[in-house]
Amino acid sequence: MKSAKPKVLHEIAGLPIVAHVAAAAKAAGGGAVALVVGHGADAVRKAAAGFDPAPEIFVQEQRLGTGHAVLSARAAIARGHDDILVMFGDTPLIEAGPLSAARQKLAEGAAVVVVGFRPPNPAGYGRLIEKDGNLVAIREEKDASPAEKKIGFCNGGLMAIAGKHALALLDQVGNSNAKGEYYLTDIVEIAAKAGLGVAATEACAESVLGINNRAELAEAEAIWQRRRRREAMLSGVTLIAPETVHFSYDTEIGQDALVEPNVWFGPGVRIAGGVTIHAFSHLEGASVATGSEVGPFARLRPGADLHEKAKVGNFVEVKKASIGRGAKVSHLTYIGDAVIGAEANIGAGTITVNYDGYGKHLTEVGQGAFIGSNSSLIAPVKVGDRANVAAGSVITEDVEADALAFGRARQKSLPGKAREVRERFAAAAAARKK
């Protein structure tokens, strides 16, 4: 990855790669997760604390192969789980389906189940060696014979092991191979020789895609996004230009929502049904209720909460603010640390001045209030229900309900003064040129 950050903490759709893997295990019925880490153990441990369920961490001090890595979690395996799923932390596209299929094979009596796939070019992958419909061995590329290298069914790296056999099989794995490592894949042959059932299931190639560099990271992101967009559209969401919409791992979007081109959903976004998100909008940590309208070119930051039929228009930024039912913040405005009442109208160029250099303060605008264009509301301040703030005002004190507030200097015109100023400036400019 050429990165100071451990590979498995790089993100797909805003979630660390390894968290995607853990989520797939949970979706397939996994109740406990053991995470074997090496490089960047402290950083991975810290990130993993937020997973659901939080994994038990084991450190592989020496890199002696995949079999050795799995046995680093011996204490977890020894607890007697019915099924053990072994997954790579850098395969974020795996879904519950192939894992559940492998578990089903265990339920039918197999001791070991390998998840395989058929890549366009099998070079570099371990081959699945089958005989009479049974899996008898996995041969790593370096150890494969010419005939075995022609096999197109390859090891996807994912394995299910019956809990009652797991430690006995793992303890028999040796390192008599070209690299002198303990290959997890050797338990297939060990189990077969012991007369235990060994089977293979098949997953699509993209599901077992491993990530080793930034190019593969981008490829995995593209696949994940394509899947999520299709899922959204099949659930009743209209994406006008699907390939330009970016979802996060936890984006929630309801039926009959309409999303225009070039919209970015960061983590923590909940969009109700019947919402329109116009083009080039950016949302993160925001909630948008039924019938609301956002954008184009709007930014909803964490804590933005739009109630039913609210409108946030073009070039508006909202942060940690509630926009009431039917309220309008139509253009060129910043609303931060605020509560905007139902049916209020916020004019163009309005700013809630929420930060004094030391702390954030709250602005409250009442129901049906009207804030004229180019106004600054200096927090903490309250504008009452149905109050009217004149355009261009700087409001530093509370405005009572139904009041009309002016916070600007009285206009004064000086006849002929503009001509005098022009002549003075022109003379000064001419003098500088001499």
- In sign, the C-alpha dihedral spanning 265, 268, 271, 276 is negative
Calpha distance 101→85 (Å, rounded): 12
Tell me whether residue 331 is one of the annotated catalytic residues.
Answer: yes
Q: How many CA atoms lie within 13 A of 186 on its CB side?
A: 21
The reply to whether domains 7-208 and 225-405 share a CATH topology is no
Q: What would the CATH number be for the domain defined by 225-405?
A: 2.160.10.10
pLDDT at 53 over 90: no
**Bridge partners of residue 36, in order along the sequence:** 58
Report pLDDT for 240.
98
The mean pLDDT of 59-85, rounded to a whole number, is 94
The residue-averaged pLDDT of 159-187 equals 92
Answer whether residue 113 shows pLDDT above 90: yes
Is pLDDT above 80 for 32? yes
The tens digit of pLDDT for each residue in 202-238 reads 999 999 999 999 999 999 999 999 999 999 999 999 9
Angle at 104 between CA 227 and CA 36, to 5 degrees: 70
Cβ-proximal residues to 395 (8 Å cutoff; 6+ apart), any chain = 375, 376, 377, 378, 381, 383, 389, 405, 407
* pLDDT at 178 exceeding the cut of 80: no
Torsion of CA 421, 422, 426, 429, to 10 degrees: 60
Which H or E element spans position 216?
A: helix 214-234
Residue 434's pLDDT is what?
80
Q: For 389-428, how does the pLDDT look when each residue is reduced to its tens digit (9 = 90+)? A: 999 999 999 999 999 999 988 889 999 999 999 999 999 9
What tokens were used for 308? 């039913």
- The percentage of residues in the chain with a pLDDT greater than 90, rounded to a whole number, is 89
Residue 182 pLDDT > 90? yes
Report the pLDDT value the prediction gives residue 176, as an integer from 0 to 100: 87
Q: What is the pLDDT of residues 89-105, one digit of tens each?
A: 999 999 999 999 999 99
Confidence of residue 41 (pLDDT cuts 50, 70, 90): confident
Residue from 278, 307, 331, 361 carrying the catalytic annotation? 331
Residue spans per domain, the chain: 7-208, 225-405
Q: How far apart are the first and last CA of the chain?
A: 63
Q: What is the CATH T-level fold of the domain 7-208, as seen in this structure?
A: Spore Coat Polysaccharide Biosynthesis Protein SpsA; Chain A (3.90.550)
Indicate the average pLDDT of the chain: 95
* 381-383 and 404-405 strand pairing: unpaired
Which of 200, 229, 204, 73 lies closest to 136, judged by CA? 200
Q: Does the pLDDT of residue 283 top 80, yes or no?
A: yes
Distance CA 260, CA 293 (A): 11
Q: How many residues does the chain have?
A: 434
**Cα–Cα distance, 81 to 34 (Å, whole number):** 12
